[in-house]
Structure 1
Amino acid sequence: MRDVQGQIQAIHVRADDPAKGKYRWLSTPAPTYVGGAASGAPVHVVRGVDDVVWITEGPLKAIVAHARLGHTVLGVPGAGAWAPVLDILAVVRPKRVIIAFDRDPNPETAGKVAQHVVRLTDALTEAGWPLMMARWDGPKGLDDALVAGARITFEQEASSQ
């Protein structure tokens, strides 16, 4: 997981046994290793070549999306962990922000993600960032949609306030 300057800020590890959780954060136990690695839940930043920033779920999706799009892509570690995005945008200063969270097939999960998207949208709108929502049919994530060549459309987002 890299920060806005490209420095490693955390390590996300895929578990060999998915029954124990698909991904884990590398950390050292406190207080045994004072000043050791803390996991946190940082946003992964893949810097692009222009002034467009995409926000998606997960560092791997951000890496694939950046490779396909060339834009800066922020990979939040989960739909509800978007708060650091505001500080990152203050550094990157994009002219356009595009939200591209997963299209989850589970209605319960999709409903929870939608609540987080509303909160993120409201925060970005309040901060004055020009905002759009990416939409596609088919694959769940932005990465798979791009790899599959899905047609991505954009909607101007308005605050729910």
Structure 2
Amino acid sequence: MTAGVYCNRQVVITEPDTTITEVAKLMREYHVGNLIVTEKQGDENVPLGIVTDRDLVILVIAPEIPIDSISVKDVMSSPLVTVIEETSLFDTLDVMHKHGMRRLPVVNERGGLAGIITADDVVSLLAEATNDLMKLTEKEIKHEQEVHS
């Protein structure tokens, strides 16, 4: 059970100089609440930061900053905390907890973006595992009842 196995590999990325308007349009187009800001290094998209829809509200809209005066690099969270694909799921959760992060980029051994794992992903995974355990318990009870009938 590693971050690489459970991360979502469909990540919407953008470059540091992307306008705030374009960031908002990308979020709307892809129905996501965050973008990973990357920089091309060879064949890899290396993550530099993350920007969320909440960042846009708190850092740009609420203080009434003119959106044409800044780009995503001005509001992204950076430096970015990441985990490598081989990181265990429990260690990944520990990193998320220690840094207060709901979204954590996953990188490959070369530092390139491999995916993202979110708190929602983990909750879904745990719910599915719990459901499987409940089915196992029900199956054992049914088996016991059949044997002792």
TM-score by length of 1: 0.25
Higher-Rg structure is: 2
Q: Higher RCO, 1 or 2 (CA under 8 Å, sep at least 6)?
A: 2
TM-score by length of 2: 0.26
Q: Which structure shows the higher helix fraction? A: 2
